[in-house]
Amino acid sequence: MPQPLTIVLVEKTGELKTLSVKDYKEDELFKKCGFKKADDFTKQVDWPVKLDDKKYMVSMYGKTNGKANMENKYDFPPPVDNKLFFGCCVLVCQVRDEVNLKSLTNLSLDLWNKIYDKLFGGFENLTLTKCDDDDCDDDELAVIPKSKKTKNSNYLKDGFVVDDDASDEDGDESGSSSESDDESGNINDINDKNSAVDDGFILEDIGSELSEDEYDYN
């Protein structure tokens, strides 16, 4: 008596679920997907994968023709990642032995997820390659000459980071500049006042001359 075979159904919503088939027949897989007829229901792709020193072959069956709103929303791996399928699809797994003979094997969700990641090239473990920011900075600064770094050796000299002494000198220069501005400002104020006084005298003189020229029209 044949042993039940576990396959994976891919619902049109993208949900995965396993199904135990007592009497597996490839030409009746369309029934497991809820189709009444086998029209257009065929094998779409074979994915060969080597995982944990085992050679697997996962086959996907489904339809490429269907009605609107019946599109399968699952993201299938390449080379059918851009191909459109309709309704439910099914995944069946085989394994190859030492002499390369294939035999059906159970496909669990856990196994399929591992194969799925493998088919997409795996996911890089960033925690293994990530470099600590502080360590990276120290390593880079270690090869920089002291003349190019600030006194505390924590930063490079550039247009934004300077030594504290340089900052103080800049502060003094700016202070001297402000004092000069104040002095020039005071001188300008005095000149303005003197100009105002001179203008006053001129007006008074003109007024006095006009007052002397009086006429009697009577």
Residue-averaged pLDDT of the chain: 75
d(CA 114, CA 155): 46
Q: Which two tokens stand for residue 19?
A: 């199904």
Q: pLDDT tens digits for 179-190?
A: 545 555 555 555
Residue 14, phi-psi category: left (phi > 0), alpha (psi -120 to 50), beta (remainder): left
Q: pLDDT tens digits for 27-77?
A: 999 999 999 999 999 999 999 999 999 999 999 999 999 999 999 999 999
Collapse the DSSP code of 155 into the 3-class scheme (helix H, G, I; strand E, B; otherwise coil) and give the result. Answer: coil
| Every domain of the chain and the residues it spans | 5-123
